[in-house]
Amino acid sequence: MKSILDCLSVRRILGFTGRASTYSRTKKNELIMALQVMGINVQPLLAVGGVSGIAIGFGAQSVSANAITGINLVSLAPSLAFL
């Protein structure tokens, strides 16, 4: 029996996702190094990025919790969910 990872399209998608992630991280690092070479202090930019990342994470946490609750509600009581 074939595994789902044996499927060529899944391997292709996973490979593309990994390459895109690596490319994105590389470009971010290159941008930070270029700003440093130009004499721009990048520490405040990195601090703002970290704080905004934490804020987005907390916001996404409540959104995902509400989505999971909604899916759970529809699956447990489908007749009552759309009243």
For 50, the enclosing helix (H) or strand (E) is helix 43-76
pLDDT class of 52 with cuts at 50, 70, 90: very high
Return the pLDDT at 30: 87
Cα-based distances in Å from 70 to 73, 75, 78, 81, 82: 5, 9, 11, 9, 11
pLDDT at 6 over 60: no
- Structure confidence at residue 48 as a pLDDT band (50, 70, 90): very high
Kindly tell me if the per-residue pLDDT of 38 is higher than 80: yes
Confidence band for 28, pLDDT divided at 50, 70 and 90 = confident
